[in-house]
Amino acid sequence: MANSEELTLKIEGMHCAGCVSVIEKGVDKLNGVDSCNVNLAIHSATIEFDSEITSEKIIQTIEELGYKATIGRPDILAANEKERKKTKADFILSFVLALPLMVIAMSPMFFGHIIFGELYNAITQAVLAGIVIFYSGKSIIKDAFLQTRYFRANMNSLIAMGSLSAYFWSLYVLYKIMNGKTDMLYFESGAMIITLILLGRFLEAKSKGKAGEAIEALLKLTPSKAMAVINGVEIEIDTSVVKEGMTLLVRPGERIPADGKLTENNPFIDESMLTGESMPVEKKESDSVYGGSLNGTIPFKMIVTASGDKTFLASIIRLVSDAQSKKAPVQKLADRVSSVFVPIVLGIALITAACWYFFAPNDPMFIRSVISVLIIACPCSLGLATPTAILAGTGRAAKEGIIIRGGDILEKVTKVDSIIFDKTGTLTHGELEIAFLKSFGEKSDTEFLTIVASAEKQSEHPVANAIVKHAENNKVEFVTIQNIESLPGAGLKGDYDGRKLLIGNKHLMDQENIDISTAEKFAEDQMDKGRTIVYAALENRVIGVIALADKIRSEAKEVIGNLRKIIKEVTMLSGDSRKTACGVARSIGLENFEAEVRPDQKQMIVESLQKAGYTIAMVGDGINDAPALAKADVGIAIGTGTDIAIESSDIVLVQTELYSVEKLFVLSKQTLRVIKQNLFWAFIYNILAIPVAAGLFYPIFGITLSPMLAAAAMSFSSLFVVSNSLRLNKLEL
């Protein structure tokens, strides 16, 4: 869509998958709306729309559907805490009143006679049950009537119909008692239905709070105070007023208030909550430090580069929150079923009532079965099956420094059958170092290094930086090289002591007709080890060769081996020569690789594999790999999460170790498995429970469900789904 915008809303008043379906269908009908995704677990909606419609119109539509919508990201922690307190208070009051109600209702069973006499007994039950249903359960009853007003039905409709049927039938019996007749009372059933539902909701609220622990832990990382250094004076200020360019002092044991650059001392900093790396990292002057990290025992000063919602920590929190508001495709099945489920249940309840009325109108099952069907069939567990698993799965990933942009990405990862790794900075550390140096002719190794390093000192190329760094470490005294000219993709040339100097790759030597035969054997041996070769020639004669190694990550071979067991195709892309790339591939156990690949060709390779039928995951450093990351079915940026990595990729691996890639596939597979378990339980539970509740087996086997057992079973179903999802928090990766 042209000029597409995204709107995130906080939604109040949702209770089940039916509510989700109502909002999504209502908003999707609006002209200009591209998509609407509603998340029950965190009470939010994400809407994509264009200039044909305004955000005000979208909000108005949602409110016309009977819900409250406000612009902004949902505060998951605050919402969960508010929900927990409310459901706890409602449950405690209902439990305190339902307990004596049950004793009074069951008094003939306990004491052999009715307490207070039959009339006062019934009146007392009516009062207690009325407070439970209409006060403790007022939100349920209110929402049910709201749904009726808009000619809809949801989970609360079923609960309200069940509890109110029991209550008003019992009021009718009370009227009969006042006129000298008698019948069975169901006041305690109506009250216990509400009490058990409130218990289930309280336990769900507690569980959902646990599912958001990852975000809570991240939010707690930012300290409330910071020590600013202004004109040499140390002043304590609120972290909220920290601005870019300020100088801060971070004392031993304190958390860093913002992102910045180190200006003083070499502290060891614990970045485990951001990267998953357990060992503290030593920082040097000009190194980056991140807000939320924990300082060790050495105080240091820093210049702030980002604060508030612009920090790396804030971006992680946003990504995790966004991920938990996006649906996995597997939820579409649950949404479709839920949208028609409530009307079907109401139909079943009517059929149940009609059957008992015609075949056994005087049997207590006439009332009990209808109430039980309405209660047992509530689709709450269906609505929670997917979002709670995504909430827990993405939260667990965040603890490992794996930031997943949405539940849909989790499902895509499980379908990947081809994974592509960029070599430099991904399979390797991305920092060249001299591994081999050999001089030829009249120059010694030291003289050869002096000449080459002196020339390369005037270049910014990574190869040049590695050579200069090696020379400085060996305390080489640089000499003057004149007329330096850079030759892109080949090397450089200049004049040394009045003679022509060439430094570069084999292509440059061939182009200048330089005989490299004396150095070729050494070069080939080094290329077989995956190293990059630099030749140097003076007056058309080779004076030496340098081999540079981009150190392969220690875990690369193990991770590649494990991935090859679960993924059909594993490929490496490299801009190096074929011989160098072959050496790296062989050393990490890879057969498939592409060499001499330019950055713009990586996207083409991804496209060609997709056309061959593969589902592609691309792993890169998020800089020159951006087009390929964006084109892949799943783009995975490994590193510290630069802006371009976050924009181009679906997943950001904060920790640079490749183990995170392996953990991602394990976690995604397990999360999808939990979602399927949840959906299976929710479906099979309703399929098996409704016939029992309707009394289908009662005439033959005497098997049925009382309304109270139905309410308990319904609450257990929802609690089971949430608890099953929470197992992901303890998954070993």
- Give the integer Cα–Cα distance in Å for 546 and 526: 9
What CATH code is assigned to 5-61? 3.30.70.100
CB 503 within 8 A of CB 509: no
Which pLDDT band holds residue 406 (cuts at 50, 70, 90)? Answer: low
Q: Is the pLDDT of residue 325 over 60?
A: no
Higher pLDDT, 197 or 153: 197
Q: Is the pLDDT of residue 93 over 90?
A: yes
pLDDT at 644: 47
CB 72 within 8 A of CB 45: no
pLDDT at 186: 76
Q: What is the mean pLDDT of residues 151-170?
A: 76
What CATH code is assigned to 401-427+553-659? 3.40.50.1000
**Predicted confidence (pLDDT) per residue in 426-484, tens digit:** 888 767 788 889 898 778 888 999 999 999 888 767 788 889 989 988 888 899 888 88
Q: Indicate if 401-427+553-659 has the same CATH topology as 5-61.
A: no
Q: Is the pLDDT of residue 645 over 50?
A: no
pLDDT at 440: 87
pLDDT at 297: 83
- Which residue's entry shows tokens 């609220």? 205
Q: Is the pLDDT of residue 134 over 90?
A: yes
Q: Is the pLDDT of residue 500 over 50?
A: yes
Q: Is the pLDDT of residue 1 over 50?
A: no
Q: Is the pLDDT of residue 226 over 70?
A: yes
Q: What angle do CA 567, 572, 575 make, to 5 degrees?
A: 165
Point out the least confidently predicted range of 2-16, 320-334, 548-562: 320-334
Higher pLDDT, 627 or 354: 354
0.75 exceeded by pTM: no
pLDDT at 578: 81
- Give the integer Cα–Cα distance in Å for 157 and 403: 38
Cβ partners under 8 Å of residue 584, min gap 6: 423, 427, 428, 530, 552, 572, 574, 576, 593
Among 143, 422, 576, 621, the active-site one is 422
pLDDT at 220: 72
What value does the mean pLDDT of the chain take? Answer: 80
Q: Buried (b) or exposed (e) across 698-729, using 16+ Cβ within 10 A?
A: beeeeebbbbbbbbbbbbbbbbbbbebbbebb
- Give the integer Cα–Cα distance in Å for 124 and 105: 10
Higher pLDDT, 41 or 122: 122
Higher pLDDT, 387 or 680: 680
- Give the integer Cα–Cα distance in Å for 65 and 149: 10
Q: Is the pLDDT of residue 326 over 60?
A: no
Strands (E), 577-674: 592-594, 616-620, 634-638, 651-653
- Give the integer Cα–Cα distance in Å for 131 and 431: 71
**Predicted confidence (pLDDT) per residue in 470-484, tens digit:** 998 888 889 988 888
Q: What is the mean pLDDT of residues 571-582?
A: 81
Bridge partners of 501, per DSSP, are 494, 538
Can you read off the two tokens belonging to residue 529? Answer: 């080890």
Nearest alpha-carbon partner for 656 in 178, 275, 165, 244: 275
Determine how β-strand 634-638 pairs with β-strand 651-653.
parallel
Higher pLDDT, 707 or 420: 420
CB 242 within 8 A of CB 218: no
Verify whether residue 309 is a known catalytic residue. no
Q: Is the pLDDT of residue 565 over 70?
A: yes
Q: Under CATH, to which class is 430-551 assigned?
A: alpha beta
pLDDT at 641: 43
Structural domain spans, the chain: 5-61, 75-211, 219-314, 330-400+660-733, 401-427+553-659, 430-551
* Torsional sign, CA 589, 590, 591, 595: negative
Q: Is the pLDDT of residue 334 over 60?
A: no
What CATH code is assigned to 219-314? 2.70.150.10
Point out the least confidently predicted range of 43-57, 62-76, 157-171, 363-377: 363-377
Q: Is the pLDDT of residue 132 over 90?
A: yes
Point out the least confidently predicted range of 47-56, 104-113, 121-130: 104-113
Can you read off the two tokens belonging to residue 160? Answer: 């309200």
